[in-house]
A and B are shown apart, each in its own frame.
Chain A
Amino acid sequence: MRWHRIQALVLRYTYLYTRSVPRVTEILFWPLMDLLVWGYVSVYLHRVGGVSGAANAFMFLLGAMIFWDILYRAQQGVTLSFLEDVWSRNLLNVFVAPVRVSEFVLTTFIVGFFRIAVTIGVLAGLAYALYSFNIFSLGMSLVPFFANLLLMGWALGMVTTSLIMRWGQGAEALAWGVPFLIQPVAAVFYPLDVLPGWLQPVALSIPATHVFEGMRQVLRGEGVSAASLAAAFALNAVYLVAAALFFRYMFTVARRKGLLAKLGTQ
């Protein structure tokens, strides 16, 4: 791996994002909309519930919404970076340069990281301003939670990118759709035990489930569960390796089928 190549790719995305009004607004727009909708749903629940549990529901929903967005943005950072090159017919310029696939992927990880940093900043600020919800009251436990969401976002991003590489621009919708395939089972907005028994093992095999469960535990004042975190990190390690292997395999297939060239010139 060569740092100057990664630096050059990161520079390109920096130009890309700062030059384009739609891209900047997109990073701010969706989180803001989500926050407004979920925030007011929570306020409403708080009002109609009126019981002690509703105060928790309020925090759970807002917290879940912010955490979900982090996962989603991390995945988008990876996949959209690849799509940017496809859309601008620049893919070949990248791969005729001496860029290693690992350098390209690492760059998309870095972009994913910056996207979530922005998302966290925006959402945390707005949640505090609009609803006096301070996500940082979760304290230092946020760091491993965020780290796990980022890792899972990277793994998901590699998988969606591989699928788009293989099935072309027709599969582009996957970039936005794949995360929502797991949302129902990842116990994002409701606790794990709401899911039917047979689905719970599936849920527990998803790293994010442990993060969302852990978050609710912290919000309930029960402290950080080391077991949740360990499970999330362990699962993420497995998923990242699997996703990287899958990506590498799909890249080989793309080379064999001439798909890079097709994606890069159409």
Chain B
Amino acid sequence: MHATIQKPLKEIINALSKDEKVFVVGCGNCAEKCRSGGEEQAREMKARLEKEGVRVVGYAATASGSSLCKLAAAKKLLLEEHKEEVAKADSFLILACGQGIHTVIDATGGAVVHPGCDTIFGGETVSDDFITEYCSLCGECIVEATGGLCPVTICSKGLLNGPCGGAKEGKCEVDKEQDCGWQLIYDRLKELGKLDLFRQYQSPKNYAKRSNPRSLKLEEKRATFKSLAGLRTIGQDR
């Protein structure tokens, strides 16, 4: 899940030029679940903008459960289902994550886009009303050594070799309400009887695998990850 939160209306309006005709685009998957950009929020956004005098030529969102960041879906939505309103638009206000914003550029062959949301993290949907992050998409998963809990993400400093001196009563130095990630990792390794993993030195991370932009190429039974660390192909016929 790519978590998003809507930008303040004022910021959205400030980015639009006078008389700009806008089409609002939402996403039926992550953005809908985050209540930042499903069909309902796209409709509401249209009404809120119109109330402020913005010219909105239409709105649309991919169907519930379907992602805007799939190019084929975005094309179908904008170039087929909403072809006529889209033709009148000067620009698109995207209520989705940054991937969705770019998908609209691709789908429209380079249209002007405005971000309507801030993309905040990739997270686990713990419940319908709580999403939190357990992975920072680092490209080199090391949680084998930490009982499945990610130190890069749940420790505020992303420390790999154990806690800093800042934890107090199991809470992190940055926020008294937030669990110290290393306290959680220590507790879990202890429970699993695997504290020896904590004793092992973890070498610095390979940030070349976290370079950007990265890509994944998929062929039948093969997948190739491209980053500044090079190409890595995994597949049955490798």
Chain A complexes with chain B: no
